[in-house]
């Protein structure tokens, strides 16, 4: 077994959450009276901390928290369920779990919401630990979430048997902070060249390729 501990990103890696996140971002921009970014720009809201994305596309720094609160007005009751697991992902998780891999989630999505989404799809049972951001933003960047996870799961990063699996350069760089390599997936929303430049050890296009790479 090449790796034993597998750290998965959530949005863009385990599930396609684009519909809910984009609709809620549009809702927030419209409610704040700010011009809505184009669709390609809205897709960049999937993965990074929300506050950073709102500020990047026109929200004043002073309104960062307010923009996230408005986003959540729609996301918590509706948007989080406008979501679906990627085809073949549940089967892959079951296979990896049955073969003795330790599976974890490290996401910049609020931890409470991440657990609700994974439970909704009956995916939470595959993970030994689900680590996410705090609602108040005190823990939201990928490296902060990974540090939090490593603190909860003793020695998970030791012996070179841990790998991150994600769809953005944020995943690659966050894992690198702890000497953890990262495999990039192409079915998400990140830029493939950015993942390569950040140091991804490989890029995979299918669930089968991901399985072979962690083996």
**DSSP state for residue 35 in the 8-state scheme:** P
Specify whether the CB–CB gap between 18 and 46 falls below 8 A.
yes
Neighbours of 212 (CB within 10 A): 11
The catalytic position among 9, 11, 16, 167 is 9
* Pairing label, strands 84-85, 15-16: antiparallel
Residues 10 and 121: their CA atoms lie apart, in Å, by 13
Q: Looking at 15-152, which runs of residues are DSSP E strands?
A: 15-16, 84-85, 102-110, 129-133
Residues 66 and 44: their CA atoms lie apart, in Å, by 19
* Pairing label, strands 5-8, 162-166: parallel
9 is catalytic: yes
Helix H or strand E segment including 67: helix 64-75
- First-to-last C-alpha distance (Å) of the chain: 5
Active site amino acids: 9
């Amino acid at each position: 077994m090449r790796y034993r501990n597998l750290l998965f990103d959530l949005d863009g890696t385990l599930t396609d959450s684009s519909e809910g996140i984009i609709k809620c971002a549009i809702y927030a921009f419209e409610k704040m009276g700010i011009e809505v970014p184009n669709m390609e720009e809205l897709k960049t809201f999937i993965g990074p901390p929300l506050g950073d994305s709102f500020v990047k596309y026109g929200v004043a720094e002073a309104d960062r928290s307010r923009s996230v609160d408005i986003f959540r007005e729609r996301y918590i009751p509706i948007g989080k369920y406008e979501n679906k697991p990627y085809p073949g992902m549940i089967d892959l998780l079951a296979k990896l779990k049955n073969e003795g891999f330790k599976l974890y989630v490290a996401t910049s999505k609020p931890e409470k919401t991440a657990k609700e989404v994974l439970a909704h799809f009956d995916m939470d049972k595959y993970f030994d630990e689900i680590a996410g951001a705090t609602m108040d933003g005190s823990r939201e960047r990928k490296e902060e979430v990974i540090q939090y996870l490593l603190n909860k799961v003793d020695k998970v990063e030791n012996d070179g048997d841990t790998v991150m699996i994600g769809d953005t350069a944020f995943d690659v760089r966050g894992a690198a902070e702890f000497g953890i390599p990262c495999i990039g997936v192409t079915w998400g929303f990140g830029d493939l060249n950015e993942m390569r430049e950040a140091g991804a050890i490989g890029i995979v296009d299918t669930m089968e390729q991901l399985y072979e790479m962690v083996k």
